[in-house]
Amino acid sequence: MFHRIYYAIIFIFVYSFPSTMIATLVSIKAAGMGLTGVAYPQDAESGGLNPANMAFVGNRFDVGASIIHTKGTTTIHGNLNPLQNGKFSSAKLKNFYNPHLALNTTIFNDRTTLGFVLYNRGLIYSQYDRNFPLLGTSKLHAKVIDEFFTGIVSYKIHPCHSIGVGLNIVYQVIQFSGFQNFANPTFSQYPNSVTNNGVDYTHGFGVSIGWLGHLTPWLSVGAVYQPEIHMTRSRRYQGFIAEKGHLNIPETYSVGFTLRPNSCSHICFDIQRIQYGDVPSFRNPLIPNLVTSKLGRKHGAAFDWHSQTTYRIGFDYKINDCWTVRAGFRHAKTPYPRSATATNLALVDILENILTIGASLWGWCGIEYSAYAAWCFQSTYKGKHSIPGPTDIINLGGGEVDLKQRRIVVGLGMGKRF
């Protein structure tokens, strides 16, 4: 019964508000500060960044949504077959919507809190305006959505220190289209489960463990650990995704620092390590795996992703009792090499630098209204020996795949203490 109710809630969120961010998108306030917040509990949604934050949030409800506008182009050049070359637009679907909400309440003399956060972490959504002859006969499309429902218990072990544990229930939506050239026994272990099989659903369970310490009146430190989350098999795409369709959520480590130079401002710095390199369905390279092991097997070809480190810095300033302004910056290198641009035609995700601004206003009836905007600087990622040629184990005509992408995001939210 619980699973049915949970899946119904997630279904409404995912299909009423599809989204396209590859990184965690939770808390309008944190987003305005470059998505920092491992050591800065601003609202109930900050539990999605560190479950220990909830111990210092109090009784609060928050809800928000973001609109994401993405444009991108992919260029193939130098292939021996002229029909393969050309420019392909991935901006047919431009606007997407991502909601998130959270609730937190204190119990047991305000030392223990119970709450939850519903948010999006790690997703991909791309759709091209036409097919890639190199890959298949239909328009190329990829969808991987990881929606998290995290139930959180936090406890103040000291007036200045807290720990928190989050139970993560993950609902994953998967869909791939446009890969007909690989839907055969030569390339795939399960040729009927490679492409164009509609939407598939998987789920998994995991935990997040966090600590937050206010070490001095001017310094706070936080840390979070999330083990790898093992997802159930995607049977509709077990012939495309390595490990028979298991697309696990990678292990992550996060640490954050918050400085308070005065009573009106905070400076935050977060570092996060995402272990994509430990998940075969992300890690395995195209060559030689496409030849030595068929798609769908444990060592089958995947996306050649390596582990990624994200750096975030944020700043806020309280102008008066009503207004607070924010700004932030995020940097992370593209998680795959230039030799893998062809492998990542559907996933793309080459945005490395993001600048954010935001503000909050305490308004009527004790409701706090927040907004932010993010400018994801245009990135160009040029392939280097990205398409196998005549001198490789498998010959796909050679040439290069160059990726280009940019994005603008705006979000609105509201919160209330009770």
Concatenated DSSP letters of 234-291: -GGGTTTSHHHH--PBPPEEEEEEEEEEETTEEEEEEEEEE-GGG-HHHH--STTHHH
* DSSP secondary structure letters along 182-214: G-STTTBSSGGGSS----EEEEEEEEEEEEEEE
Q: Categorize the per-residue pLDDT at 94 as very low, low, confident or very high, splitting at 50, 70 and 90.
A: low
Whole-number pLDDT of residue 302 = 93
Number of domains comprising the chain: 1
Mean pLDDT calculated for residue range 326-351: 92
What's the token pair of residue 413? 């939210």
**Does residue 201 or residue 364 have the better pLDDT?**
201
If you ran DSSP here, which 8-state letter would residue 303 be given?
Answer: -
pLDDT digits (tens, 9 = 90+) for 250-261: 999 999 999 999
Mean pLDDT calculated for residue range 292-310: 93
Q: Categorize the per-residue pLDDT at 286 as very low, low, confident or very high, splitting at 50, 70 and 90.
A: confident
- Output the domain CATH number for residue 12: 2.40.160.60
Report the candidate in 130, 137, 111 with the shortest Cα–Cα distance to residue 55: 111
Whole-number pLDDT of residue 198 = 95
Phi-psi category of residue 413: left, alpha or beta, with phi > 0 → left and psi -120 to 50 → alpha: beta
Whole-number pLDDT of residue 248 = 95
Q: Are 64 and 58 in contact (CB under 8 A)?
A: no
- Pairing mode, if any, of strands 265-274 and 124-131? unpaired
**Does residue 363 or residue 53 have the better pLDDT?**
53
pLDDT digits (tens, 9 = 90+) for 123-169: 677 888 888 888 999 999 898 989 999 999 999 999 999 999 999 99
Query: Which domain, by its residues, includes 323?
Result: 2-417
Whole-number pLDDT of residue 6 = 41
Whole-number pLDDT of residue 345 = 86
Whole-number pLDDT of residue 20 = 37
Q: Categorize the per-residue pLDDT at 322 as very low, low, confident or very high, splitting at 50, 70 and 90.
A: very high
Among 167-171, 272-276, 396-400, which is the least confidently predicted range? 396-400
Phi-psi category of residue 348: left, alpha or beta, with phi > 0 → left and psi -120 to 50 → alpha: left
Instruction: Determine what percent of the chain is predicted with pLDDT higher than 90.
Output: 71
Q: Categorize the per-residue pLDDT at 266 as very low, low, confident or very high, splitting at 50, 70 and 90.
A: very high
Whole-number pLDDT of residue 337 = 95
pTM over cut 0.85 = yes
Whole-number pLDDT of residue 88 = 84
What's the token pair of residue 256? 């954050």
pLDDT digits (tens, 9 = 90+) for 27-47: 999 999 999 999 999 999 999
Among 129-138, 264-273, 274-283, 313-322, which is the least confidently predicted range? 129-138
Q: Categorize the per-residue pLDDT at 96 as very low, low, confident or very high, splitting at 50, 70 and 90.
A: low
Mean pLDDT calculated for residue range 383-393: 88
Mean pLDDT calculated for residue range 356-385: 93
Q: In angstroms, how far is the first alpha carbon of the chain from the final one?
A: 30
Count Cβ atoms below 10 Å from residue 217 Cβ, excluding itself: 9
Count Cβ atoms below 10 Å from residue 109 Cβ, excluding itself: 7
pLDDT digits (tens, 9 = 90+) for 12-22: 344 333 333 33
Instruction: Determine what percent of the chain is predicted with pLDDT higher than 70.
Output: 92
Residue 119, strand partner residues: 148
What is the pLDDT of the chain when averaged over all its residues?
89
